[in-house]
A and B are shown apart, each in its own frame.
Chain A
Amino acid sequence: MSAAPAVIAPEPLPSTTGRRRVLVSSVSSDSHTWNLVFLQLLLEELGHTVTNIGACVPDDLLIAECRRHRPDMVVISSVNGHGYLDGRRLIARLRAEPDLAGIPVVIGGKLGTRGAEGGSHASELVEAGFDAVFEDSAGIGEFRRYLAAPQTPALHHDTPPVPVP
Chain B
Amino acid sequence: MSAAGLPQPRPAGSFADAVARARAAGELLVQPRMGFPTVEQMGAGLRAVHDARARTVGTITLDSYTRVGDHGSARRALQAGEDLNGFPIVAHGGQVTRRMIDDAGTGGFAVQVRHGSPLPLGIVQALVDAGLDATEGGPVSYCLPYSRTPLTEAVDAWARSCELLAEQVPGAHLESFGGCMLGQLCPPSLLVALSVLEGLFFRRHGLHSISLSYAQQTSFPQDVAALAALRRLSGEYLEGADWHVVLYTYMGVFPRSVPGALALLRDSARLAAVTGTERLIVKTPAEAHRIPTVEDNVRALEEAAAAARDAAFTEADLPDDGEADDLYREARDLIEATLELNGDVGRALTAAFARGHLDVPYCLHADNAQRTRSHIDRRGRLQWTSAGRMPVRAAADRGTGAVGAEELLGMLSHVQNTFDRAALEPSAQSSPALRAGHA
Contact = CB atoms under 8 A, between A and B. Distances in A.
Interface of A: 1-2, 5, 8, 10, 28-31, 33-34, 36-38, 41-42, 45, 52, 54-57, 80-82, 85, 110, 112-118
B64 A30 contact: yes
Contacts of B83: 81, 112-114, 118
B65 interface: yes
Contacts of B116: 31
B405 A82 contact: no
Q: Classify the secondary structure of B's interface with A.
A: loop
B146 A42 contact: no
A82 B147 contact: no
B364 A82 contact: no
Given A29-B65, A33-B364, A34-B182, A116 B408 contact: no
B364 A52 contact: yes
A47 to B, nearest CB: 13
B148 interface: yes
A118 B290 contact: yes
B77 interface: yes
A37 B408 contact: yes
B364 A8 contact: no
A8 B85 contact: no
B290 A31 contact: no
Given A38-B405, A41-B405, A82 B289 contact: no
Contact of B290 (A34, A37, A42, A117): A117
B102 to A, nearest CB: 27
Given A34-B362, A81-B291, A113-B83, A8 B68 contact: no
B64 A80 contact: yes
Contacts of B6: none
Most buried by B among A2, A56, A80, A114: A56
A113 B405 contact: no
Contacts of A118: 83, 290
B223 to A, nearest CB: 21
Chain B interface bracket (under 10, 10 to 19, 20 to 34, 35 or more) = 35 or more
Given A31-B147, A41-B404, A82 B256 contact: no
Contacts, number: 98
Closest 9 CB pairs of A and B: A115-B290, A41-B405, A29-B64, A115-B289, A81-B85, A42-B405, A113-B291, A113-B83, A31-B146
Contacts of B365: 54
A36 B183 CA distance: 15
Interface string B128-150: 00000000000000000111100
30 contacts: A1-B289, A2-B289, A2-B290, A10-B406, A28-B70, A29-B64, A29-B68, A31-B67, A31-B146, A34-B183, A34-B362, A37-B364, A37-B408, A41-B403, A41-B405, A45-B404, A54-B148, A54-B365, A55-B146, A55-B147, A55-B364, A56-B146, A81-B84, A82-B64, A82-B65, A110-B290, A113-B85, A114-B83, A114-B290, A118-B83
A34 B404 contact: no
Nearest to B413: A5
B363 interface: yes
B184 interface: yes
